[in-house]
A = this chain, B = another copy of it.
Amino acid sequence: MTGMQVGTLWGIGVGPGDPELMTLKAHRLIAAAKVVAYPAPDRGDSFARAIAAGAIAPGAAEIPMRVPMRAERFPAQEVYAEAATRIAGHLEAGTDVAVLCEGDPFFYGSFMYLFARLAERFPVEIVPGVSSLGACTAALKRPLTARNDVLTVLPGPLPDAQLKARIKAAEAIAIMKVGRHLTRIRALLDAMGLTANAGYIARASLADQHVSPLAEAPDEAPYFSMILVYRGADPWLS
C-alpha cells in the first residue's frame, strides 16, 4: 500500500429535483464517477439518483443506501455505517466515490452521516447544489430576503412554541419538511394572523410542482414541501 493514493469522497449536491438544476460541476463529476452512492427508500427509487440518472455512466458501480422510513434513528445509523464501510473500501483502493445529495449536501441533508464516518480518514470535497429553499422561492416568484432582512429556517417538526417564538423574530421564514405537520403549522400561522403572508410549495422544480397561497394548500403534504412566510412590508414594494 506504500505511496498508494486514496480516493476522494465527493459530496455532490444534485439540486432540488429538475435535472437541469444540477450544476455543470456536479454533472461532470457524476459522469466521470466509477462509484456512485445515494440515499434511497426501503423500496422503490432514489430521488437523488433519479435527478442524476442522465449523468451516471453506464458501467458505474452503485451503492444505494436504503434507509428505513421510521422515526427511530438506529436502523438508519446502521445503514450509514454499512455504506461507509463499503465506500471506505473503494476509497482505500484509490477510487473516488461520488455521493449524490438532494439539494445541497450540508443543508439539512443526510450526507453528514457519511461525512462524520469518513472525513477524518479520507479527503472530502463538497460540491454545493441549488437548495430546496432557492427552488421554492423561485417557484413562488417572490423575493425571500432583501437588504437587512433576517431569514430563519425552521424544521416543521419543531413544537408550536418554538416555531411561534422564532417566526415572530424574523422578517422571512422558511418552514422545511412540512409533510405531516401541515395542518398543525397552518393552524399556528392562522392564530398568528400570518396565513395571508404565507405560500405553500411542494415538489419544487419538478413537473408536478404545486405552488399556492397557504390558504389553498391541500390537506396532505408530501415530505418535500415548504411554507414560506413573509412578515412585515413586502420587501419589493418598499
Contact = CB atoms under 8 A, between A and B. Distances in A.
A226 to B, nearest CB: 13
Contacts of A146: 108-109, 112
A150 B142 contact: no
Interface stretch (A133-141, A188-196, A213-221): A133-141
When all copies of this chain in the complex are counted, the total is: 2
Interface string A114-131: 011001000010111111
A91 interface: no
A235 interface: yes
Contact of A127 (B138, B147, B148, B235): B138
Interface stretch (A12-20, A42-50, A62-70): A12-20
Interface of A: 13, 15-16, 18-25, 27-28, 104-109, 111-113, 115-116, 119, 124, 126-131, 133-135, 137-139, 141-155, 157-158, 162, 165-166, 169-170, 205, 235-237
